[in-house]
Amino acid sequence: MKLVTHRYGKSRVRLMKVLREGEAHAIKELTARVLLEGDFDRSYTHADNAQVVATDTMKNTLYVLAHEHLGAENEPFAQQIARHFLDRHRHVSHVTVELEERVWTRLPPQQPYGFIHSEVMRPFTRLRASRHTQEHESGVRDVILLKSTASGFEGFHRDELTTLPETRERILASAVRATWMWASEPASYRAAQRTILEAMVVPFVERYSPSVQATLWEMATAALEACPEIARITLTMPNLHCLPVDLTKFGRTNKHEIFVPTDEPHGDIEATVSR
C-alpha cells in the first residue's frame, strides 16, 4: 500500500481581538483554519507521532500570533501564520491558512466602543505557502446584490421539458462569492478589496442584464481593470429567484410588484476570468 497525499490541521478556530487606538476601538472576529503538509507519513503508516504538531498546539499558536500580529488586515496575518510554522518546523513543507472575518461596525459610527453586526458579507483570505512559493487568494462571501429592473432572460435553448417563459423584465438577485488571486501586494489590502467591490457593483447596477452569465463577465472584467494587483477572479453567482405572483385569479394585474423570494432551488453560475 502507498500513502498518496495527506495533510492535517485545526479548523473552526474562532478568535476575537479588540484593536485599540486611543479611545476608539475596532473589532476583529475571525474563524481560522490551518493545515500542514510535510514529513508526517509515519504518523499514518507506523503510528509514530514524533513529528506531529498537535492540533491543540496549532490552536494555541493562532491565539498567540493574533495577540502579537493581528491588525486591521487579514492577509499579513495569514502570511505571519505560514512563516511561523515553516520557520519553526523544518519537516513542514507547506502551510495552508484560511481566515474568514465576521464584520463588526461601530454603533453609531461616532461611538468609540459599541458595535453592531449587520453585514452579511464575509471577507476571507486563503494562503498556501512553502519556503519558496506561495499562492494567496482573498475574497468575499455572501455579497447580496439585487436590482428590481433592467434584467431579463431570453433566447435560451428550449426542448420538450422547458416551461420557463422568456422575459425582459425581472428582479435580478444573487449572493455573490468572489475570490481573487493576488499577483502582487497592494498598498492596502482593505482598500484593494473596497476597490474591487465598488468596481463590480457598477455593471451590476448600471447595465441591462441579459443573463447572469453576461453580468458576471462584466463584473469580473471591471474588477480586473480596477485592481492591477490581482491576476484573476472567480465569481460564483447563485440566482436568488424572485417569482412573480399570479393575481389574475383575484381579478388583479401584477405589474412587476408582488414576488415570492426563494433561494431553493436556484441557478448557480460560476466563472473564472484572468488577464
pLDDT in tens, 26-35: 999 999 999 9
Nearest Cα neighbor of 269 from 191, 153, 148 is 153
- 181-194 pLDDT, tens per residue? 999 999 999 999 99
Q: What mean pLDDT do residues 203-216 have?
A: 96
pLDDT at residue 122 in the model: 94
Handedness of CA 114, 117, 119, 122 (dihedral sign): positive
136 a catalytic residue: no
Extract the C-alpha cell encoding 217: 463577465
Tell whether the model's pLDDT for residue 21 goes beyond 90. no
Q: What mean pLDDT is predicted for residues 60-75?
A: 97
- Are β-strands 122-129 and 134-147 bridged in parallel, bridged antiparallel, or unpaired? antiparallel
Annotated catalytic residue within 55, 59, 221, 266: 55
pLDDT of residue 85: 98
Residue 89 among the catalytic residues: no
Give the whole-angstrom CA distance, residue 30 versus residue 124.
9
Summarize the confidence of residues 147-161 as an average pLDDT: 95
Residue 132 has pLDDT above 80, yes or no: yes
- Among 23, 139, 144, which Cα is nearest to 74's? 139
In this predicted structure, which of 93-97, 118-122, 156-160, 252-256 has the lowest mean pLDDT?
Answer: 118-122
Statement: residue 120 has pLDDT above 70: yes
- Which residue segments constitute the domains of the chain, with CATH numbers given? 8-132 (3.10.270.10), 142-274 (3.10.270.10)
Q: For residue 112, what pLDDT is reported? A: 81
- What mean pLDDT is predicted for residues 74-78? 98
- The rounded distance, in Å, linking the Cα atoms of 149 and 267 is 19
Torsion of CA 128, 130, 135, 139, to 10 degrees: 30
Grid cell locating 131:
519556503
* pLDDT value of position 118: 65
Q: Is the dihedral of CA 195, 196, 199, 204 positive or negative?
A: negative
- Average pLDDT of the residues in 228-254: 95
Catalytic annotation present for 55: yes
